Amino acid sequence: MELTIPILVLLFLAGILAGFIDSIAGGGGIITVPALLAVGIPPHQALATNKLQSSCGSLTAALNYTRRGLMNPRELFTGFFFSFLGALSGAIAVQFFEAAFLENLIIAMLIVLFAYTALSPKLGFKQQPHKIGHGLFYTVFGLLIGFYDGFFGPGTGSFWTISLVLLLGLDLKQATAQTKLFNVTSNLVALSIFLYSGLVLWGAGLAMGIGQIIGAYCGSTLVSKREVQFIRVFFLIVVAATIIRLAVTRFC
């Protein structure tokens, strides 16, 4: 398809908004995928191109969080490694299985996550003792959430964030930062497979990717300066929007 200047500008602006939102609470895909579809890009190419632009945003946010001292990637190597394996397995498995059952399950899980967070006003406000060992956590959840992101995707950041808060005792600011490293991992794995298949539209992906870099930098900078309450409210809004989007797509 022909990508005109107005279309590229629209995608660039969508990338800025998505990068900003995703760097704070995840869920940027609820903006970028519909934007790609709205300009006439076929679904399979839209999903592939989305991984290119989202990789730009998640990498920018991860680097900015690292620079601002909110995470140390060297301490998270186990999570990075098993996220890689999980995402690779999921990206391969999705080619052989229907995702309908998983869509219903994820909607239900996100509703539970939203309700639990909304009803726990102090959740993630300060660090707590971890409930399981870091090595075990990053091995198990790296495989599980990485597989899910490679297989399906929506809500991945939310699942990482709440898992880090509940089981490792991080506050929401730390959990948000660490989530971006794992998002980078699974995004790049999926992107490499889509690149091999030739489905990525470079013009659209780079236009959105530049927007993602700007939005992700602004969002991650804002998180480092704001209190946890701001992140909590943003998190709840994004989870609710993700639930609505998945429900509409699945049942309407």
Q: What confidence score (pLDDT) does residue 95 get?
A: 63
Identity (one letter) of the amino acid at 82?
F
Query: For the chain, what is the radius of gyration of the CA atoms?
Result: 17
Q: What is the mean pLDDT of residues 40-48?
A: 85
The tens digit of pLDDT for each residue in 97-132 reads 665 666 677 788 888 888 888 888 787 788 788 888
Q: What confidence score (pLDDT) does residue 100 get?
A: 66
Q: What confidence score (pLDDT) does residue 82 get?
A: 92
The tens digit of pLDDT for each residue in 10-26 reads 999 999 999 999 888 88
The tens digit of pLDDT for each residue in 133-187 reads 888 999 999 999 988 887 777 778 888 989 999 999 998 888 888 898 888 888 8
Apex 83 CA angle, 175 and 249, nearest 5:
80
How many CB atoms lie under 10 A from the CB of residue 252?
5
Token readout for 30 is 């609820």
Compute the distance between CA of residue 77 and CA of residue 65 in angstroms, rounded to an integer. 16
Q: What confidence score (pLDDT) does residue 97 get?
A: 64
Q: What confidence score (pLDDT) does residue 59 get?
A: 93
Token readout for 6 is 């107005």
Q: What confidence score (pLDDT) does residue 193 get?
A: 84
- Torsion angle, alpha carbons of 238, 239, 244, 249, to 10: 100
Q: Which residue has the higher pLDDT, 4 or 250?
A: 4
Q: What confidence score (pLDDT) does residue 102 get?
A: 66
Q: What confidence score (pLDDT) does residue 93 get?
A: 76
Q: Do residues 22 and 57 touch, judged by C-beta distance below 8 A?
A: yes
Res 1 pLDDT > 70? no
Q: What confidence score (pLDDT) does residue 226 get?
A: 81
Q: What confidence score (pLDDT) does residue 208 get?
A: 96
In this prediction, residue 94 has a pLDDT band, given cuts at 50, 70 and 90, of: low
Compute the distance between CA of residue 158 and CA of residue 81 in angstroms, rounded to an integer. 20
Q: What confidence score (pLDDT) does residue 118 get?
A: 87
Res 92 pLDDT > 80? no
Q: What confidence score (pLDDT) does residue 76 get?
A: 82
Residue closest to 62 by CA, chosen among 223, 226, 244, 225: 223
Most confident of the following: 62-71, 86-95, 214-223: 214-223
% of the chain residues with pLDDT over 70 = 95
The tens digit of pLDDT for each residue in 189-212 reads 888 888 888 889 999 999 999 999
